[in-house]
Amino acid sequence: MRLVILDRDGVINQDSDAFIKSPEEWNPIPGSLEAIARLNSAGYEVVVASNQSGLARGLFDHAALTAIHTKLHAMAASAGAHIEKILFCPHAPQDNCQCRKPRPGMFQTIAQCYGIRLNGIPAVGDSLRDLQAAVAEGCVPYLVLTGKGEATRIKGGLPPGTVICADLGGAVERILQSSGE
């Protein structure tokens, strides 16, 4: 199975320290939706795994998150891209859940949904916790320098084997090269 796991904020769309709380605040990073379309064209399914603690913090509700994801799906479709699934953790950091990255719960759910192990599956994120959750389930970590990615790179402590790319388009290029596309 050809699968790629993406974080959302800072990878697909512009991030905000004030959280993305509405469809109006959700804006794709230039080229990100086209990069997803390239993955789809090469036979990859794309799944999003995203921490969304704004829910637990009361910054937005499930209806707003659904509206944001509806916009994401519509804009992706207009770029010729398709996102198979969007998983999210609604918990705050202090909730000590298993799904909030850096814990691997969302990655385990993805593995269960597809009935596969995630060894060697590319996972793209812009934060250390994205990469840590991915590596815990055997994924190949890709750090993009968009969103919080540049600060993450500077801070260091990246998992061994992390592939660093300017943006999602660069990560997709590397993923396709590594698969012989």
pLDDT digits (tens, 9 = 90+) for 26-82: 999 999 999 999 999 999 999 999 999 999 999 999 999 999 999 999 999 999 999
Which position has the token pair 């080229």?
Answer: 31
pLDDT digits (tens, 9 = 90+) for 105-158: 999 999 999 999 999 999 999 999 999 999 999 999 999 999 999 999 999 999
The pair of structure tokens assigned to 7 is 């974080």
- Count of domains in the chain? 1
Residue 181 scores a pLDDT above 90: no
8 Å CB contact between 123 and 4: yes
Q: What is the CATH number of the domain that holds 123?
A: 3.40.50.1000
> Which of 42-60 are b and which e, b meaning 16 or more Cβ less than 10 Å from the residue's Cβ?
eebbbbbbbbbbbbbeeeb
Query: What's the CA gap between 99 and 129, in Å, rounded?
Result: 12
Q: Is 84 left (phi over 0), alpha (psi -120 to 50) or beta?
A: alpha
Per the CB < 8 A criterion, the answer to whether 144 and 11 are in contact is yes
10 Å CB burial of residue 155 (0-12, 13-18, 19+) is: exposed
Q: Which residues of 83-99 are buried (b: 16+ CB within 10 A; e: fewer)?
A: beebbbbbbbeeeeeeb
Active-site hit among 7, 126, 130, 167 = 7
Q: Say whether 7 is catalytic.
A: yes
Catalytic residue, chosen from 9, 15, 130, 167, is 9
CA torsion, ordered 45, 120, 172, 33, to nearest 10 deg: 30
pLDDT for the residue 180: 79
Range of the domain at 125: 3-178
pTM, rounded to two decimals:
0.97
Distance CA 95, CA 41 (A): 39
pLDDT of residue 41: 97
Q: Per-residue confidence at 101, pLDDT binned at 50, 70, 90?
A: very high
Active site residue 95: no
